[in-house]
Chains A and B, each alone.
Chain A
Amino acid sequence: MKKPACKAEGRRQKAETEAISAFSLLHSSFYDLLLRLYPASFRNEYGGEMRAVFARERRRASGLAVPALWIRTIPDVVVNSAGAHFDILAQDLSYTARMLSRAPAFAATAVLIAALGIGATTAAFTVTDFVLFRPLPFPEPGRLVKLWERTPGYSRMELSAPNYRDWRAASQSFLSMGMYHDTEATLIDGGEPRRLSGAAVSADLFPTLGVGPHVGRGFTADDDRRGAAPTVVLSYRFWQSEFGGDPAIVGRSLRFGDTPHTVIGVMPREFHFPASDVLFWTPTWFGEEDYADTQRTNNWLEAVGRLRPGVTLEQARAEMNVVAAQSEARYPIENKDTGASVVALGAEISDRSRMLLVTLLAAAACVLLIACANLANLLLARALGRRRELAVRTAIGAGRERIVRQLMTESLALAGAGGALGVGLAIAAVPMLSQLVPQTLPLAAAPTVDVRVMLVAVGLTVLTGLVFGVAPVLRSGGAPDLAGLREGTRAGGGQKERLRSALVVAEIVASVVLLVAAGLLMRALLTVQGTNPGFTADGVLTLRTELPMPQYAEVARREAFYARVLADIRALPGVTAAGYTSFLPISSFRGGIWTVAVPGDPTGASDVRRENNVAAIRFVTPGYFQAMAIPLKRGRDISEGDTPTRQAAAVVSESFARRYWPDADPLGQHFTFAFADRVVVGVVGDVMFRGLERVSEPQVYLSSQQVADGAITFYAPKALAVRTTGDAAALAPSIRGIIRSADPALPITELRTLAEMVTRDTASRAVQVRVLGAFAAIAFVLAAVGIHGLLSFAVSQRTQEIGVRVALGATPADILSMMLRRGMLLAVAGLVPGMVLAYVAGRSLEALLAGVKPTDLWTMTAAVGLTLAMTILGCVAPTLRALRVDAITALKTE
């Protein structure tokens, strides 16, 4: 034996040990505390020695050397403990890489599953965060509110100009207030005239929002005066696309229609107000006549206020209720039953959009949950397969902590790879999901995957890694399992199988919920798409031609245009009908609600807008009903004979006739509407002009000729519908040509088929069904993989048992039914709670279901059928495989 160095050392140390004082105990316990920074395995291995070395050094030190020793020791421990952690990590990672490269199929499956879960959740979060969680891009957005009028039947109605002015002056809650309304302009720049969307804003709107221009200046009170020189502020997007971001844009002149407008500024890139499609802003140019009392029921302005510091939304609401009540007292006719609504600007998003997005997020969470359960199961199976390896490592001295750490590193590495792939998937999926972003928000049109989202993705990845890492750790973290070393040990005792079965059942539950939710929404979509809009959409081409005023202010001038265009179009081959109307149903404008007065009707005499005395106003040319295939039920169409000098005629919808003359013949009845006495000449079917999922008011159609020159020009027919027997879209070039030859200065917009317009109306719903359907499909496949994996494993563990049974005379059918029973047990265990949860989910989605019941039989049957089919398929393949092994081979494997 070699002679150890430092023979005398031991004796001296013993003597010194006896002299331990309370003081040195303090030192050594602090050192013990520091040692906790080391990985437990390292500490167990070397902690004792390090303590001894430190104790010696401390005994040697005296006086000032003691603090010096600590100054040396603390950083030494910190640096080296971090190093020791890093050494282990590097070791675990290289071990992980070796293990995974030996099991590429396992690694690829795990990464793909993690990617699907993380990708779905990241994509869903990106969109939801963008719309719901992120503060609006204005300074102190929490203090911005939207102001509305509230009348019976309408909780948020636009304000009239005089009410806006009175309320603004009377209220104290607001630092400032601004108003705006949508507008459009025809840009004439030499090429084809183009129609642009914009907003007319009061001078105080931008300051109220707290956003100044990127270039140039905003509007002043002088710009916003009736008769002021026309000015315009451009959106960043329009400035970039149209003028290449020309810094010398300020001072340039743009021709909107006949009027040159001077560009005075450009708003910042992230400023989208009131919606993402706005390209320019002009002042409102309101004069005194706009604020006249006759305008008090003309509701068309939107208002934004900024609360004073310290004023809450509730206080502002209370104050505005008082202000509105004062207005009502002062104008008892015009402002009858008119209150005020104050809503946080961020809360403007509709409940439906909110629910759509929350559903999306919940569905993504379900997918993530299933992915985690699946991964945990996969790792559990692997851990069981690796029992021997782990037992060997334990036997050669790897502590529990080292093995746990190794397994965690492995699952985190898999989750990390899955997370990276998942973020890639999310980036690819977000453009599709962004169709779920409502277009009416002051936000950019499309969300992007940004730092916040990345942080969430990283969080999800770590969470996923930890969650599915835990299962195998729980399994292997127990006492060293020497049984694993024994030759031929079968893994999979009762407890392990129970855990794995529970995970598979959880997957089935979540996938049933998703299947049912997706099924219900699909049924709802079909229901909505199956709704009769009141017209026949196929074979109709539509477009708008803005008729610039004052050139087209005279009825005769407009009629000449309609006559020429319609005659030429009707002469085109295949065209069966064509007509003009004020606004097409389900188009961008769905309002135009006016009060109706019918002699003898209790609400008839007043001009007050109520729920039940209003109708939608539309002027039409003859032929419009045929073009739209709106059925004429009684009487006649508007005709060429309904000239300005004749009795004003009206064609009304069935609901209108039912409302006022339930027991009498509507034909020949008189009513007052749009400043004139009208006589009913015809009754047509109702049209869902508000959209397929909303209740539409009754409709009144008036002759395009029977309106005073220059009056109600907003409703002058500008929307064209052309019905053809052929391909509607193919007509576009000829119709363009006809309109251009009639008046080359007219911009043609919204050129699309009627069928496209109907599709657009259900687009967000269709996207949601597709997304949820995709999530449900992913969930379904993952659950199927889970069931198949579990049963394959169970079969492989029971090869011997199956062999014995076959040897004892069991037929393949017996074995198959045995395995099927097991599979069915899993399926039923998942289906029962799954259906209950699906019902709960369905109930909370009811507002989105368009009347489809959460207990919809068709959907429930499909979900149950799919789940059972998935289970049977999952059972059959592994069982058949087991049956191919003959009894003798099975028995020999032991």
Chain B
Amino acid sequence: MDDPNRSTQAKEIDALLPLPAATFHILLALADDDRHGYAIIQDVAARTGGELQMSAGTLYRSIHRMLEQGLLVETSERPAPDEDDERRRYYRITPFGTAVASAEARRLAQLLRMARAAGFSPGRLAG
């Protein structure tokens, strides 16, 4: 039997897919640790080998929307005072955010499988 709550959540997740690239990257950056904004930018840059330099505008607009969608929460836990800067706000991924990120990853994997089946093989340069 379907759990009605679960199916509601599934619908909510589906409504958000496909995720904008910036949103997915932010979720990835927060997967293992709470981070403040600038740390997210740095993490994304590092993860993509410097390819994706997220701007402050894109970052905070994404964060604003993700907070409203319930993908993130702002955490009140702070690091030790000497490491902290009071201007900084730290963000944490929610269980819903994790579920959405997983769903997006599944969607991408499926897409990748289809691409492979169609003969597009990633990882190799064309020619």
Contact B38 A56 (CB under 8 A): yes
Partner of B83, one of A7, A50, A77, A79: A7
For the complex, what is the distance from the CA of A77 to the CA of B85, rounded to whole Å?
A: 24
Interface residues on B, range: 20 to 34
* Docked pose: A53 CA to B41 CA in angstroms: 9
With A46-B63, A52-B87, A87-B64 in contact, do A76 and B55 touch (Cβ < 8 Å)?
A: yes
A4 with B90, Cβ < 8 A, contacts A46-B63, A46-B64 known:
yes
Of residues 41 to 66 in B, which have CB atoms within 8 Å of A's CB atoms?
41-43, 55-61, 63-65
Type the 1/0 row for A52-96, where 1 means its CB is closer than 8 Å to any CB of B: 111011000000000000001100110111011001000100000
Contact B58 A6 (CB under 8 A): no
Given contacts A4-B79, A6-B42, A53 and B37 within 8 Å (CB-CB): yes
B39 touches A49 (CB 8 A): no
List residues of chain B with CB within 8 A of the CB of A13. Answer: 85
A83 CA to B88 CA, complexed, in Å:
23
> What residues of B have a CB within 8 angstroms of the CB of A42 in the complex?
60-61, 64
Mark out the residues of chain A between 453 and 473 whose CB falls within 8 Å of any chain B CB in the assembled complex: none
Q: A49-B87, A87-B64 are in contact. Are A3 and B33 (CB under 8 A)?
A: yes
A81 to B64, CA, bound (A): 12
Complex Cα–Cα for A5 and B84 (A): 11
**Chain B minimum-CB-distance residue to A78:** B57
B55 pairs with A83, CB closer than 8 A: no
Q: Say if the beta carbon of A1 comes within 8 Å of chain B.
A: yes
A16-61 interface (Cβ within 8 A of B): 42, 45-46, 48-50, 52-54, 56-57
A5 touches B43 (CB 8 A): yes
Query: Does A10 make an interface contact (CB < 8 A)?
Result: yes
B35 A81 Cβ-Cβ under 8 A:
no
A659 CB → nearest B CB, Å: 88
Picked from A1, A4, A45, A80, the residue with its CB within 8 Å of the CB of B35 is A4
For B79, the chain A residues whose CB sits under 8 A away are 1, 3-4, 7
A49 touches B64 (CB 8 A): no
Contact A80 B38 (CB under 8 A): no
Selected from B37, B59, B64, the residue in CB contact (under 8 A) with A84 is B64
A45 to B35, CA, bound (A): 17
Whole-angstrom CA separation of A81 from B85 in the bound complex: 26
A42 to B68, CA, bound (A): 13
Q: How far is the CB of A12 from chain B (nearest CB, A)?
A: 11
Let me know if B83 and A4 touch, CB within 8 A.
yes
Inter-subunit contact A54/B35 (CB<8 Å)? no
CB-CB under 8 A from B64, the residues of chain A are 42, 45-46, 84, 87
Q: A4-B36, A4-B83, A56-B38 are in contact. Are A50 and B56 (CB under 8 A)?
A: yes
Q: Which residue of B has the minimal Cβ distance to A56? A: B38
A76 lies within 8 A of B83 (CB): no
Query: Which residues between 5 and 49 of chain B lie within 8 Å of chain A, taking CB atoms?
Result: 33-39, 41-43
Instruction: Categorize the interface residue count of chain A.
Output: 20 to 34
**Majority-rule SS of B interface residues:** helix
* Residues 286 to 330 of chain A near chain B (Cβ within 8 Å): none
Looking at the assembled complex, report how far the CB atom of B71 sits from the nearest CB atom of chain A, in whole angstroms. 15
Contact B38 A53 (CB under 8 A): yes
In the bound complex, CA of A271 to CA of B12 (Å): 63
Report if B3 contacts A (CB, 8 A): no
Q: Contacts A13-B85, A52-B87: A4 and B65 contacting too (C-beta < 8 A)? A: no
Nearest opposing residue in chain A for B89, CB measure:
A49
Chain B hits for A83, CB < 8 A: 61
What is the distance, in angstroms, from B73's C-beta to the closest C-beta of chain A?
A: 13
A2: Cβ under 8 A from any B Cβ: yes
Asked, given contacts A42-B64, A50-B60, A84-B61, whether A5 binds B39 with beta carbons under 8 Å apart, the answer is yes
B57 CB contacts on chain A under 8 angstroms: 50, 76-77, 79-81
B41 cross-chain contacts in A, Cβ below 8 A: 53
Nearest chain A CB to B33 CB, angstrom units? 6
The reply to whether A76 and B65 contact each other, CB–CB distance below 8 Å, is no
How far is B60's CA from A539's CA once the two chains are assembled, in angstroms?
84
State whether B84 touches A53 (Cβ < 8 A): no
Knowing A7-B83, A48-B87, the reply to whether A76 touches B56 (Cβ < 8 A) is yes
Nearest CB in chain A: distance from B37 CB, A: 5
Instruction: Check A53–B33 contact: CB distance below 8 A.
Output: no
Determine the chain B residues whose CB is within 8 A of the CB of A84 once the complex forms: 61, 64
Contacts of B39 in A (CB 8 A): 4-6, 9
State whether the Cβ of B77 lies closer than 8 Å to any Cβ in chain A.
yes
- Any A CB within 8 A of the CB of B2: no
List the A side residues contacting B59 at CB < 8 Å. 53
Interface centre among B41, B55, B58, B85 (most CB of A within 10 A): B55
Q: Which of A1, A46, A57 has the most CB of B within 10 A?
A: A46
Q: Which residues of B contact A79 (CB under 8 A)?
A: 57
Q: Which residues of A contact B33 (CB under 8 A)?
A: 2-5
Binary interface profile of B, 100-125, with partner A (CB < 8 Å = 1, else 0)? 00000000000000000000000000
Shortest beta-carbon distance from A719 to chain B in Å: 79
A2 to B31, CA, bound (A): 12
A83 nearest in chain B by CB position? B61
A10 touches B38 (CB 8 A): no
Residues of B within 8 A of A91 (CB): 68
Kindly list chain B residues whose C-beta atoms are within 8 Å of the C-beta of A81. Answer: 57
CB-nearest residue of chain B relative to A48?
B87
Q: A79 to B62, alpha carbons, bound, how many Å?
A: 13
Residues of B within 8 A of A6 (CB): 38-39, 42
Q: A13-B85, A87-B65 are in contact. Are A5 and B35 (CB under 8 A)?
A: yes
Distance in angstroms from B12 CB to nearest chain A CB is 15
A2→B55 contact, CB < 8 A = no
* B55 in contact with A73 (CB, 8 Å): yes
CB contacts (< 8 Å) of A53 on chain B: these are 37-38, 41, 56, 59
Whether A2 contacts B34 by the Cβ 8 Å rule is yes
- Tell me the complex Cα distance, A56–B87, Å: 13
Contact of A72 among B55, B77, B78, B89 (CB under 8 A): B55
Shortest CB-to-CB span from A281 to chain B, Å, is 66
- Residue in chain A with minimal CB distance to B37: A49
Chain B residue with the shortest CB-CB distance to A8: B83
Q: Is the CB of A10 within 8 A of B37?
A: no
Closest CB in chain B relative to A30 CB, distance in Å = 14
Give, as a whole number of angstroms, the nearest-CB distance from A95 to chain B. Answer: 12
Inter-chain contact A10/B82, CB cutoff 8 Å:
yes
CB distance from A539 to the nearest CB of B (A): 77
Q: List 7 A-B contacts (CB under 8 A).
A: A3-B79, A4-B33, A5-B39, A5-B43, A50-B57, A52-B87, A54-B56
Q: Which 9 A-B pairs have the closest CB atoms?
A: A80-B57, A4-B79, A46-B60, A76-B55, A76-B57, A53-B56, A50-B56, A5-B39, A80-B61
Given A2-B33, A80-B57, 15 more pairs with CB closer than 8 A:
A3-B79, A5-B39, A5-B43, A6-B38, A6-B39, A6-B42, A10-B84, A46-B60, A49-B89, A57-B56, A76-B55, A76-B58, A81-B57, A84-B64, A87-B64
